[in-house]
Structure formats: C-alpha cells, structure tokens
Amino acid sequence: MRVLVVEDHVRLADSVARVLRREGMAVDIAYDGTVAVDLTTETDYDVVVLDRDLPGVPGDEVCRRLMREPARTRVLMLTAAAAVADRVEGLTLGADDYLPKPFAYPELVARIRALGRRSQPAAPPVLTSGDLTLDPAQRVATRAGSRLPLNPKELAVLEYLLAAAGRVVSPEELLERVWDAAADPFTTTVKATVNRLRSKLGEPAVIETVPRAGYRIA
C-alpha cells in the first residue's frame, strides 16, 4: 500500500511514517500542502493522511484537489479540532475518514488499512495460493501451516502478488506500490527482495518470473 503523510509537525509526521513502514506500507512525507499537491500529482496514493492546518496550500484545498482527480485516493484527515462540526466539515469536503489528535497508533493503522482496502478492488480478508496463506490484518504468512519469517517489505511484496490473483506484476509496478519515493528506480532492490522471498517460501517455487514482464503467483 502506498501512503502519503501530510503533516507540518515534523516529529509527528516522521513518527507516523516509521509506524506505517513497520507495518509494511510504502510511505512518503510532505511537511506542507504545496509539496503534497506536487506529490499527489506525480503519484497515485492509496491513502493520504492529511492534516487540515497546513502551511502553503491548506489541507482543505489539498482534499478538494484530490477529489477532482480520476484516481480515487482515500483521504484520512488528522486534526486537533475534534468538535462534531469540524468532523462533519472535513467529511463534507470529501474525506473518507476523520481522526482527531491525539490518536492511538493502532487505531490509525487500522483505519488506514480499512481505507486501503476500499481504494482497491475487493479482495478476500485472507489471501491464499495452494498451501500459502497471508493474513494482511495480522501481517502473518504461513506455508503448509508453518509461519514464514518474512520482514515487512517481503510481506508487502507477497501481499501485492497474491492480491494480483495471477496477473503479471512488473518490477516497476512493485517499486511504485511497495517502496516509497526514496527508492532508487535503477537499483536491483525489487529483484533482491523477490529472491529473498522465494528462498523463504521454499519449494516448490511459488513466484514465477515472466521474462521481460515481471512476476506472478499462478
């Protein structure tokens, strides 16, 4: 899942990003509304975590612009204003959810995951292929009943490939959806991660390489 955190309090933004990355999400950060507009123009995010009170372009205007885009990015508004009228106003602008500050990180993660599921075609709560099973909510993958020792990035790649349901996924698509903007598009990071994942999944092989096209799980 690709997420943009838009928050002008640097420590809070960085803290949110760290938590979401530990959950296997690809996270970019914008510390003001102007940068947020630029990033959302360049990248289709699954979820934007958006503070309303921003320097540059206000959060409300960022939300309005996102609502005009053909790609349906889900918006979770974060704000210190917790009154009912503020929540109603934020939702009226087009936001999909609203979480007042201060908030609990487990709740934030759960809300982002729920919005992320709504931004994509419907998928089963547990992804399977043969004896391979992945529970996205619990962040647990098993094969033949044994838990697999996957790190967050490997889990994210496996989840994306399983959700593709046999469709060939290019390395470029994986890089955009599973890694953040800091990833170097000219590195072999996708290939290296897939190779580690293959090794941990064991035999018989689950991930198929389609020459000059990408990867898929049949």
The residues spanned by each domain of the chain are 2-119, 127-217
Strand 146-147 relative to strand 207-210, pairing: unpaired
Which pLDDT score is estimated for 82?
61
Q: In angstroms, rounded to a whole number, what is the distance separating the alpha carbons of residues 191 and 193? A: 6
Tens-binned pLDDT, residue by residue, of the chain (218 aa): 899 999 999 999 999 999 999 888 999 999 999 999 999 998 989 999 999 889 999 999 999 999 887 767 899 998 876 666 666 676 777 889 989 888 999 999 999 998 987 756 555 678 999 999 999 888 899 999 999 999 999 999 999 999 998 999 999 999 988 998 878 777 789 999 999 999 999 999 999 999 989 999 97
Supply 100's token pair.
């007042």
Question: Which of 110, 162, 160, 164 lies closest to 133, judged by CA?
Answer: 162
CATH number of 127-217: 1.10.10.10
Q: What is the pTM of this model?
A: 0.76
pLDDT at 69: 79
Considering only CA atoms, which of 18, 199, 205, 142 is closest in space to residue 29? 18
Q: What is the pLDDT of residue 116?
A: 86
pLDDT at position 35: 97
Note the pLDDT of residue 75: 94
Quote the tokens at residue 176: 């955009």
Collapsing DSSP to helix, strand or coil, 207 comes out as: strand
SS3 50: strand
Given this model, what pLDDT does residue 80 score?
77
Strand-pairing partners, residue 210, are: 214
- The per-residue pLDDT for 38 is 95
Sheet containing 127-129: give its strands across: 127-129, 132-135, 140-143, 146-147
Q: Which two tokens stand for residue 16?
A: 């949110």
Q: Does domain 2-119 have CATH number 3.40.50.2300?
A: yes
- Residue 37 tokens, joined: 């507009």
Distance between CA atoms of residues 198 and 65, nearest Å: 41
- Measure the CA–CA gap between 93 and 102, rounded to whole angstroms: 22
Q: Over the Cα atoms of the chain, what is R_g?
A: 18
Tokens of 75: 């918006």
